Chain A
Amino acid sequence: MLDTSRQVNELADIQNRLIFVKVGFLMLLVLLGLRLWQLQVRDGAYYQDLARDNRTRSIVLEPARGLLYDRNGELLANNIPSFQLYISLEDVQDREALITRLPHYVDIDRQEISDKLSKKGRRGRVKIKAGITLKEVAIIESHRLELPGVVIQPEYQRHYPLETFASHVLGYVGEISESQLKDPEFSDLQQGRIIGQYGVEKTYDEYLLGETGEEVIEVDALGYPKRSLSVRRPLAGDDLYLTLDIRLQRLAEDLLGEEAGAIVALDPWNGDVLALASKPGFNPNDVSGGISAKDWQRFLQDSRHPLTNRAIQGQYPPGSVFKIVMAAALLETQTLSAQESIPCHGTFPFGKRVFRDWKAGGHGQVDLTKAIAESCDVYFYKAGNQLGIEPISTYARQFGLGEKTGIALPSERSGLVPSSEWKRRVKGEPWYPGETISISIGQGFLTVTPIQMAKMVSIVATNGRVVQPRLFKASRLRRTGNLKEEPEPPIQQLAIPPKTFAHIKEGLAAVVTEGTAQRAKSDLVSIAGKTGTAQVVALKPDGDKDKNKELQKEFRDHAWFVAFAPLEHPKIAVAVLVEHMGHGGSASAPLAKTLIEAYMSFQNTPQKNPL
């Protein structure tokens, strides 16, 4: 009873207090009413003016793109100021006159201007040309009165201080295209925005992009700014630290020189891509500054394909390098033991055909080590014939062939590991045993990319650790200024015992000490590797006599060399491919040796700005 009466008392108490809640709410709503009176009645005419004359112009303030560094903090890409030409549509009085007049003052096509202006949904400012010269700026400024609506705005332009170096890794930036604008992925970006179009610029665009700011200005009837109404500052993109060591990258590209080819160097333990070179390259500064349609076409049609990243897109037969996979397959399936030796007389008859060894007289009695060291074809013809295609393709896949490595670069190719199922499906034919014999020495349908080869030799170097090659080491977040290390990629361990790898490594060491790649022998470090020669599918000469010399070169084989070093505690894994240079032992092995020696010497010199 007491309890109930207390509750009733409390209730009455509380209900009396509700008056304050009521007064509070009413006060607030009356205040809002007053505010609306202020905006709509007292200042209504002013806002009506702003709305009717639409006297506000909104200007997008481009953020500075995040910078790119190598693993030691060397600058790879930054931003430099440049002038951009815009047309502010609301302020244009006679569009046709403007389109006719502007090409007199700036190097730009009439058609290009009208194309850009007439695109659907254009409103506000349209970017017409990036990177106009100081002289052009001066000319336009002196003709200001004839050109209402033309606005010149200083903005950032992407700059690659190393010019052509690492061009395929860094990529380039460019204005967002019409088709990208329609893509929901880019739905929050406006026309004129500069985004990554290739390389890590594209892959990590969301980090690098930053957020645009916006300035709203009030303009007079001629479109001249009168005052700034509001500013939202742009937020620069995050800086990225890549795994590349630019010293190694430079060296790799210099070693390739004028030849077409690719070099990939990995840290075998964590998959860090130390160098990823592809030649011929291009200068991303030429592309990023707003390239004309004509130049772009010329670029795309260049017969040497400078835009192709051979390290991840070039698909070549692995040649004898594939014998590494064959060795693992035959040891693991116990087709042959490491000690068993086979006589090699230089030929392997199969049905009506005779498969030849590269060495006419043969290699004599050959065990696994000697077969790898001297790259005996007959040994592997026999082994492959016993194995059959299925185990070979199974082991090839275990070593990462036939699938993309997943490196964070656009347009990686997967190469091809054939199987009888594949042949039935794609070619509509059964698998012929003779084809297995070609595959055994890395020819036939089998193709690989240089980065797959580097990954494969990494797996051997680390006794079966499979890592995904990575380029993104760390980022510096602009919001907080903190350095954020990327987690290392997950590691998978192959179910192949260390003993098997020991046998393979013994062979790979012998390749350099007494085998096909003695030119890779180093006094400084113990290198293990394997040569390979990728047969080129013959092209028909087109009869042009003047080009005969070049064409002949096109028939020459591609030279492979894969290696890791030091033999005991591997620190670097390398794959070198030089197109049309013949034998791996003479053309590619010396490049790998120089690269490895340089990398080992870097280990002893302190880093400038270690991460």
Chain B
Amino acid sequence: MSLMNDNVNRRGLDTFDWCFLGVIIAIISAGILSIYSVTNSQATSGFPIYLKQTIWMVVGSLAFLVAAGIDYHKLARLSYLLYGIGLILLIIVLVSGKTSRGSQRWIPLGPFVVQPSEFIKVPLILTLAAYYGATSREGWVRRLFVPGLIVLPGFLLILKQPDLGSSLGFLAIFLVVVLTVGMKSKAFGFVILAALMLFPFAWGGVWGSLHGYQQDRILSFVDPTSDPGGKGYHGLQSRIAIGSGQLLGKGLHGGTQTQFKFLPEGHTDFVFAVFAEEWGFIGSVILLSLYIILFLMGLEIAFKAKDMVGVLLAVGVVAMIAFGVVVNIAMTSGLAPVVGIPLPLMSYGGSAMVVNLTALGLLLNVKRRRLSLL
């Protein structure tokens, strides 16, 4: 064991690793730049938000190093414990969490607030990977039912807050992992996968055919913080921001939608609209490509992982981040209802930043151990 660790540690970073880190840093920088652009013009008292986000990036980087450094098999062994702690935190949130705009999502921790629904995602990925790594896949009970029981309490606790976006993200991780493990035939899998991927768009279609008051009722039931209808003020201003960026964008601080505060939540859920307004179609496509490269690298790591735990860890991490990216951009560009999901690595938020960087650290972890022998 120690020999293996020495073997790993002595090796430096290769081109792949550097490329991986470069993409992550580029995306985070685009986020901080956009946050700077939104908040700099608004006279806010106290510490600037973009600097706070920079500090969160540094904190997240430490988490990244830890997650990349400890052998993921050791982490997988701790996974059930970590997941249990996560569930306890979610219960604490429901009992005595901080309520904001009708939703109870945060635990105050000194000057900060912590969002356990973010933090539990990593233990979930670890737990699913550990479970399938140790169990045979014979029979639907083992393949689907037991892992379903693992996921269900977390899913329900998050849904109860209520936080529709995060609970769907939780479900997405589970579904992608289960599908990767459990597809019986390739054709069947393809259909399921396509259906899953098209879900936000199909939802948009069904959603659009409902009457306004029906939409209001459904959304105010599941998520009172949302913007009912998905075509309301937020959605409209966001579409105007993105669209008016046109091909080349309006340049830093040039976004009228952002600077004149027509676009709400510019530094959080709608950060993509800020970026798209100021950097145009070209900038947006480059940003999208960075995410694509990140996912392809993640899936490459999954493909070359040496064991089941590694494959599923990598797939889980990619699913988690991809879900956020796809749903957030679909939401800001008016393809999906506004459900309140932040854009991974870009939206302002300490909990999400730390969690996403931890998850990416796990990816690098899997990659750097794939060459060692059992």
For A45, what are the chain B residues with a Cβ–Cβ distance below 8 Å? 246
Query: A13-36 interface mask toward B, CB cutoff 8 Å, 1 = contact, 0 = none?
Result: 011011011111111110111011
B151 within 8 A of A: no
B242: which of A10, A47, A56, A233 is its contact (CB, 8 Å)? A47
Given A40-B281, A214-B232, decide whether A26 and B292 contact each other with a Cβ distance below 8 A: yes
User: Bound state CA distance, A110 and B244, in angstroms?
Assistant: 40
A51 within 8 A of B: yes
A-B contact count (CB 8 A): 164
For A56, what are the chain B residues with a Cβ–Cβ distance below 8 Å? 236, 240, 262
Residue of A nearest to B232 (CB): A232
User: Bound state CA distance, A7 and B135, in angstroms?
Assistant: 10
Query: Interface with A: B25-33, B153-161, B182-190, which one?
Result: B182-190
User: Bound state CA distance, A50 and B318, in angstroms?
Assistant: 37
Given A20-B190, A32-B326, decide whether A230 and B311 contact each other with a Cβ distance below 8 A: no
| Docked-complex contact B233 and A47, CB < 8 angstroms | no
| Docked-complex contact A479 and B288, CB < 8 angstroms | no
B196: which of A10, A24, A37, A230 is its contact (CB, 8 Å)? A24
User: Bound state CA distance, A361 and B333, in angstroms?
Assistant: 93
B315: which of A18, A48, A214 is its contact (CB, 8 Å)? A18
Query: Interface with A: B63-71, B86-94, B299-307, B351-359, which one?
Result: B299-307
Query: A26-68 interface mask toward B, CB cutoff 8 Å, 1 = contact, 0 = none?
Result: 1111011101110111011111101110101010000000000
User: Bound state CA distance, A45 and B196, in angstroms?
Assistant: 34
A231 within 8 A of B: yes
Main secondary structure of the interface of A (DSSP, over half): helix
User: Bound state CA distance, A35 and B193, in angstroms?
Assistant: 21
User: Which of under 10, 10 to 19, 20 to 34, or 35 or more describes the interface residues of A?
Assistant: 35 or more
User: Bound state CA distance, A22 and B197, in angstroms?
Assistant: 11
B49 within 8 A of A: no
For B303, what are the chain A residues with a Cβ–Cβ distance below 8 Å? 15, 18
Residue of B181, B197, B305 contacting most chain A CB atoms (<10 Å)? B197
Given A24-B194, A41-B246, decide whether A36 and B233 contact each other with a Cβ distance below 8 A: no
Residue of B nearest to A233 (CB): B216
Residue of B190, B232, B335 contacting most chain A CB atoms (<10 Å)? B232
A600 within 8 A of B: no
User: Bound state CA distance, A32 and B200, in angstroms?
Assistant: 11
| Docked-complex contact A233 and B243, CB < 8 angstroms | no
User: Bound state CA distance, A23 and B326, in angstroms?
Assistant: 14
A137 within 8 A of B: no
B324 within 8 A of A: no
Query: A469-481 interface mask toward B, CB cutoff 8 Å, 1 = contact, 0 = none?
Result: 0000000000100
Within 8 A of B (CB), among A382-431: none
Please give the number of chain B residues whose Cβ is less than 8 angstroms from any Cβ of chain A in the complex.
Answer: 67
B180 within 8 A of A: yes
Residue of B nearest to A229 (CB): B236
A232: which of B193, B228, B291, B322 is its contact (CB, 8 Å)? B228
| Docked-complex contact A233 and B291, CB < 8 angstroms | no
User: Bound state CA distance, A14 and B307, in angstroms?
Assistant: 10
B173 within 8 A of A: no
For A36, what are the chain B residues with a Cβ–Cβ distance below 8 Å? 242, 276, 281, 284-285, 288, 333
A216 within 8 A of B: yes
A11 within 8 A of B: yes
User: Bound state CA distance, A46 and B189, in angstroms?
Assistant: 41
B75 within 8 A of A: no
For A28, what are the chain B residues with a Cβ–Cβ distance below 8 Å? 197, 322, 326
Within 8 A of A (CB), among B193-234: 193-194, 196-197, 201, 212-213, 216, 220, 227-229, 231-233
